[in-house]
A and B are shown apart, each in its own frame.
Chain A
Amino acid sequence: MEIDEKVRESQAKSPVDVEAVVIRFAGDSGDGMQLAGTQVAVSSALMGNDIATFPDFPAEIRAPRGTPAGVSGFQVQFASRQIMTPGDTVDVLVAMNPAALKANLGNLKAQGTIVIDIDAFDAKGLRLAKYDENPVENGSLDEFQVIEAPITSQTRKAVEQLGIGHKIATRCRNFFAMGIIYWLYGRDLTATTRYIDSKFTGEVAEADKLALRAGWHYGETTEAFERSYQVPAASQAPGTYRNVTGNEALALGLMSAAHLSGKDLFYSAYPITPASDILHRVSRFTECGARTFQAEDEIAAICSAIGAAFGGAMGTTGSSGPGIALKTEALGLAVMLELPLLVINVQRGGPSTGLPTKVEQTDLLQAVTGRNGEAPMPVLAPSSPGDCFNIVIEAWRIATKLMTPVMILSDAFTANGAEPWRIPDITTLEAIEIEHPKSPTGMEPFRPYDRNEWLARPWALPGTPGLTHRIGGIEKADGTGAISYDPLNHEKMVKLRADKIEKTALLTPDLEIAGPESGELLVVSWGGTFGACQEAIVQAQRDGLSVAHVHLRCLNPLPRGLGAILKRYKTVLAPELNLGQLRQLVRAKYLVDVRGLNKVRGQPFWIGDITTEIHRLLGQEK
């Protein structure tokens, strides 16, 4: 390939090694920024880099063009070391129009690089972005290295030979911008070329490839850049890898859990951002026997999953906060029926419609306590995109062992972000053993609410002779399951259900402390903030501070040993993307005065948010 030679040639000149690079593509929501960022991530992962991504886009599919409200961004970090986040600040900002520049300039590193499409910085573009004067000309960008690339006009010129319309030609701009970045950081074009051929045909595919190459040549020949860079491969454990987003990993986890337990997967959902992607993916798993159901509403989604669970399938449903609110009554039913069920909540900004595409962790209390009556259920949260796979399998193991619904709390950041993931060998994953009672040999009546050593009741399946029984939302008599309004029986059943959920703690791994076993400061985190917390703590430890980290993957019940761990540190800090929901739970349970670091801006934690707070608490302000 001509390009491959060029890669070697240009890198042979004077590419400079760098450890990690953060790129942010920003443009209108129809400009293909998500595609650009994803392709950089895939290409980098294939070159052996560790990667982390952060898609940041508006809720509107085609928001008003050229305005800051309509800016869609995609941030990707690739590195020659292990990274846990998409990066706090951006090395290179690609701004396809003035609005994209305006909305993203704040995240740019000092002396960072800005690649702008200078063609878009005309009077109209500046007006839509509400710039009084052209920022490229008024000196306001002097501290940055600004590359004024005529992306639109150069793209059109590059595809001119195909004789395609102006509109299609312009739509290839993102590939031209990618080409520049690919040259700048020595990214291999092969995977993206392959992607173009798999997604597009005819002149569109040709145009995209021409634009990509033209962007590359632009970087190489214009001398706009002083030099190019390269990011060597990171060291990774042996194995076969791919990139996964959190939602992708949830879908794969659902299918794998069904397989490991020998169950038919039934996934039922009503479209909602940012959970719909799970439905899209599982609906393609038909060869594996997946059954998906796009229900008429959120309530039907969970109720059909309950029906499937009664019949013996792996009943699952997924949504986001507002949808979970609608499912609440049925969740209580599932608690009462004591049937296994998985409910995924991909959290987004709330309350109400809130910030549909942005991240928050504000549904923790909803998950733990948000039902009428005493209706406990296990609540688990994945700590990264790849961990979404494990958490589903773990959740299904708990659900079937304890005969209970289990809530999984993902979030928009984890759901949309991607990271390299070592593909597990499905044949070596531990099977999930499920027993269904067989037809009785004697004459004794079947007792659907008898309990085993886990306090779980039998999962008797319709179709089994001799086990006919009725279950429902009304309180049951212990053992027989007959309707009972008896006061003492009710209290007993309430306690039995609660005691059963407490046993979840025996089915989840022990907590691991990263850092000193006791001392000055313990950071307690949960869910998708894991990466930022982990990196912050490693940095603080490197700075010589006494700080330890414990991350919770199970939020209800709280893990064994947590109370004792908390008491071994002078200060406990709980960073959360809410106003202190875990803090409230931990304080209430252990009477430990946990401090909060709370952010509710629809944005993830930056590493710096947490290191700053650690330094402040330890009196070591930077």
Chain B
Amino acid sequence: MNATANTVPNFASDQEVRWCPGCGDFAILAQMKKVLPTLGVKPENTVVVSGIGCSSRFPYYLETYGMHGIHGRAPAIATGLKRTRPDLQVWVVTGDGDALSIGCTHLLHALRRNVDIKILLFNNRIYGLTKGQFSPTSLPGLVTSSTPMGTAHEPLHPLSIALASNATFVARSVDTNAKHLGEVLRRAAAHRGSAFVEIYQNCHIFNDGAFDFAKNPAIRDDHIVAIAHGEPLVFGKNRDKGIRLDVAGPEVVTLGGEYNEPDLLVHDEKADTNTIAQMIAGMRHPLMPEAIGVLRDVDRPTHNDLMRDKTPDPKSRETAVNRLLHGGETWTVA
């Protein structure tokens, strides 16, 4: 990580990073520092906006313009910024509580409007900064500081919500899967329109091991499927399993017997409708392997495209303002 920081000093700020040692956020920060210099966007044209929570300290640690806002509101702040400054590349860093509980509305609306911002949701399925209460993505039964008898309710699923909001770019990656995460971040940056990335992030203080199935090298290959456009959904340590689309939905099949690769679902991230993407997003551990990679990447006019704002030069604006002031019925007193 130190080596990364040394090779790209221009995106690393001088602030002391204050996450708990061992936090998954460090790995994500390292990837961002690696990816940002490769995008062709200068630090001064990059803005990182966040809400409240552990992940939302992110802007302080990058030498870009940044705003650490209020709880849940980063997408709204970013929307106003991008609307008036289309020249900037705007990132939003948020967490499961920030984006799906207190700020859920803003996430949905930023995505449906296709505001050209990149939203990274660090999902650790817990409230960290406030010391370990359940979050909207916590699984039922999880014992937390506010649910000593176990969390009661069904969780929200970020990818399903993003797809339901008709987001044009939806992806998932894992904090410590450096190569995969780096590629997903690059894809998100390259997307024109809202990009939504869920990152499985381990909070080893309050919810350690929440994503063991996706992170533990010994077992992860049997529990996650890395999807790629135009490729069949194959997974497993020995790449001997796949996802087939049955009339009842996606099902896991073993390859080599009744089914082979040509029988499998081939991923199409460009599909006009997001029906299949929703099915993939609905594959959940432990019943199914969970998908990582880009679920959807389609073109749609951005918020700014649709608003068609004009920027008249001062002289023609003066004429236009003058016309406004004289609108309606007027009369002159000599």
Which residues of A pack against B, CB within 8 Å?
A: 42, 45-46, 48, 191, 194, 236-243, 252, 255-256, 259, 262, 264, 266, 268, 285-289, 291, 293, 295-297, 299-300, 303-313, 315, 329-330, 333, 337, 423-424, 426-427, 462-474, 482-483
Residues A264 and B311 in contact in the complex (CB < 8 Å), given A240-B326, A426-B321, A473-B70: yes
A237, A311, A424, A470: the one contacting B81 at CB < 8 Å is A311
B87 contacts A by Cβ under 8 Å: yes
Q: Mind listing 30 A-B residue pairs with CB under 8 Å?
A: A42-B328, A194-B329, A237-B333, A240-B326, A240-B331, A241-B330, A241-B332, A242-B327, A266-B80, A287-B320, A288-B321, A289-B310, A289-B320, A293-B80, A296-B105, A297-B105, A299-B73, A307-B80, A310-B47, A311-B47, A333-B70, A423-B326, A462-B81, A463-B87, A468-B43, A468-B65, A470-B59, A470-B66, A471-B66, A472-B69
Among B43, B78, B84, B333, the residue within 8 A (CB) of A313 is B84
A287-B312 Cα distance, complex, nearest whole Å: 7
Q: Is the CB of B77 within 8 A of A307?
A: yes
Q: Is B258 an interface residue (CB 8 A)?
A: no
CB within 8 Å for A337 and B321 given contacts A243-B329, A268-B80, A462-B47: no
Other than the known A42-B328, A42-B329, A307-B49, what 17 A-B pairs have Cβ atoms closer than 8 Å?
A: A236-B333, A242-B328, A264-B84, A266-B80, A286-B310, A287-B320, A291-B83, A296-B106, A299-B76, A310-B65, A329-B70, A330-B73, A333-B69, A462-B65, A462-B81, A463-B44, A468-B43
Chain B residues, Cβ within 8 Å of A337: 67
Closest Cβ neighbor of A191 among chain B residues? B329
Judged by a CB distance under 8 angstroms, whether B39 is at the interface is no
Contact residues in A for B52 (Cβ distance below 8 Å): 473
Tell me the nearest residue of chain B to A439, going by C-beta. Answer: B44
Residues of A contacting B323 in the complex (Cβ-Cβ under 8 angstroms): 287
A315 to B80, CA, bound (A): 8
Given known A-B contacts A426-B321, A471-B68, A303 and B84 have beta carbons under 8 A apart: no
| Whole-angstrom distance between the Cβ of A270 and the nearest chain B Cβ | 11
CB distance from A285 to the nearest CB of B (A): 6
Q: Which B residues are in CB contact (< 8 Å) with A463?
A: 44-45, 85, 87-88
B68 contacts A474, C-beta separation under 8 Å: yes
A472 touching B59, Cβ below 8 Å: yes
Q: Which of A256, A286, A469, A472 has the most CB of B within 10 A?
A: A472
Q: Are B44 and A466 in contact (CB under 8 A)?
A: yes
Q: A306 touches which one: B68, B77, B311, B328 (CB < 8 A)?
A: B77
Residue numbers in A under 8 Å from B331 (CB-CB): 45-46, 48, 240-242
Bound complex: CA A529 to CA B330 (Å) = 27
Q: Bound state CA distance, A296 and B73, in angstroms?
A: 11
B140 to chain A, nearest CB (A): 29
Give A423's nearest chain B residue, CB to CB. Answer: B325
- The answer to whether A427 touches B318, judged by C-beta atoms less than 8 angstroms apart, is yes
Q: A237-B333, A243-B328 are in contact. Are A470 and B13 (CB under 8 A)?
A: yes
B153 located at the interface, meaning its Cβ lies under 8 Å from any Cβ of chain A in the complex? no
Question: Which residues of A have CB within 8 Å of B82?
Answer: 307
Residues in B with CB closer than 8 Å to A312 are: 84-85
Chain A CB within 10 A, most for which of B13, B76, B79, B330: B76
Contact A293 B79 (CB under 8 A): yes
Contact B67 A470 (CB under 8 A): yes
- The reply to whether A308 and B83 contact each other, CB–CB distance below 8 Å, is yes
CB-defined contacts of B314 to chain A, threshold 8 Å = 259, 262
- Does B246 belong to the interface (CB within 8 Å)? no
Shortest Cβ distance from B79 into A: residue: A304
Chain A facing B: main interface SS? mixed
Chain B min CB distance to A559 (Å) = 29
Please name the residue on chain A nearest to B314 by beta carbon: A262
Residues of A with C-beta under 8 A to B77: 303-304, 306-307, 310
Measured between beta carbons, the chain B residues less than 8 angstroms from A45 are 329, 331
User: Inside 8 A of B309's CB, which chain A residues have their CB?
Assistant: 264, 286, 289, 291
> Among the interface residues A239, A243, A287, which one has the most CB atoms of the partner chain B within 10 A?
A287
Task: Give min CB distance, B281 to chain A, whole Å.
Answer: 23
- CB neighbours (8 Å) of B70 from chain A are 303, 329-330, 333, 473
Within 8 A of A (CB), among B105-119: 105-106, 108-109
Question: Which of A268, A288, A291, A309 meets B324, CB within 8 Å?
Answer: A288
CB contacts between A and B, total, < 8 Å: 206
Query: Provided the pairs A287-B310, A304-B76, A464-B44 are in contact, do residues A48 and B333 lie with their beta carbons within 8 angstroms?
Result: yes
Is B2 on the interface with A (CB-CB < 8 A)? no
Q: Tell me whether A256 and B68 are in contact (CB under 8 A).
A: no
In the complex, are the beta carbons of B106 and A300 less than 8 A apart?
yes
Cβ of B260 within 8 Å of any chain A Cβ, yes or no, is: no
Could you tell me the distance between the alpha carbons of A602 and B321 in the complex, rounded to whole angstroms? 35
Query: B278 within 8 Å of A by Cβ?
Result: no
CB distance from A251 to the nearest CB of B (A): 9
- Report A-chain residues with C-beta under 8 Å of the C-beta of B88: 311, 462-463
Provide the bound-state CA to CA distance between A337 and B68, in Å: 10
Residue on A nearest B59 in the bound complex, by CB: A470
Question: Which A residues are CB-close (under 8 A) to B60?
Answer: 470, 472, 483
Looking at the complex, which one of B42, B73, B84, B326 makes contact with A311 (CB distance below 8 Å)?
Answer: B84
Q: Does B149 contact A (CB under 8 A)?
A: no
B317 at interface (Cβ–Cβ under 8 A)?
A: yes
Contact pattern, B 8-22, Cβ under 8 Å of A = 1, otherwise 0: 000001010000000
The reply to whether the CB of B334 lies closer than 8 angstroms to some CB of chain A is: yes
- Residues on the A chain within 8 Å of B105, using CB: 296-297, 300
Q: Report the separation of the CA atoms of residues A237 and B85 in the bound assembly, to the nearest whole angstrom.
A: 43
Residues of the A chain whose Cβ atoms lie less than 8 Å from the Cβ of B49: 307
The answer to whether B320 touches A462, judged by C-beta atoms less than 8 angstroms apart, is no
In the assembled complex, the CB of A396 is this many whole angstroms from the nearest CB of chain B, namely 14
- Chain B residue contacts of A243, Cβ below 8 A: 328-329
Q: Mark B30-71, 1 if CB is under 8 A from A, else 0.
A: 000000000000111101010010000001100111111110
Task: Tell me whether A303 and B310 are in contact in the complex, defined as CB-CB below 8 angstroms, given that A266-B83, A288-B320, A462-B85 are known contacts.
Answer: no
Scoring A42, A252, A333, A426 by chain B CB atoms within 10 A of each residue's CB, the highest score goes to A426
Chain A residues with Cβ below 8 Å from B76 are 295-296, 299-300, 303-304, 307
Is residue B322 within 8 Å, beta carbon to beta carbon, of the partner chain? yes
B307 CB within 8 Å of chain A: yes
Report whether A241 and B333 are in contact in the complex, using a CB–CB cutoff of 8 Å. Answer: yes
Chain A nearest Cβ from B174, distance in angstroms: 27
Tell me, rounded to whole Å, the shortest Cβ–Cβ distance linking A193 to chain B. Answer: 12
Determine which residue in B42, B65, B334 has the highest number of CB atoms from chain A within 10 A of its CB, and name it: B65
Return the 3 tightest CB-CB contacts between A and B, nearest first.
A472-B68, A304-B80, A307-B80
Contact of A465 among B15, B44, B59, B328 (CB under 8 A): B44
Contacting pair A472 B312 (CB below 8 A): no
How far is it, in angstroms, between the C-alpha of A483 and the C-alpha of B78 when the chains are bound? 21
Given the interface pairs A240-B331, A243-B328, A255-B324, the reply to whether A470 lies near B84 with Cβ below 8 Å is no
C-alpha spacing A72/B10, complex, angstroms = 64
Determine whether the beta carbon of B79 is less than 8 Å from that of A300.
yes
Q: Which residues of B contact A295 (CB under 8 A)?
A: 76, 109
Please tell me if the beta carbons of B59 and A426 are within 8 angstroms of each other in the complex: no
Most chain B beta-carbon contacts within 10 A, residue among A243, A266, A303, A308: A303
Beyond A465-B42, A468-B65, whether A482 also contacts B15 by CB under 8 A is yes
Instruction: Give the chain A neighbours of B84 by CB distance below 8 A.
Output: 264, 266, 291, 307-308, 311-313
Bound complex: CA of A429 vs CA of B265, how far in Å?
Answer: 67
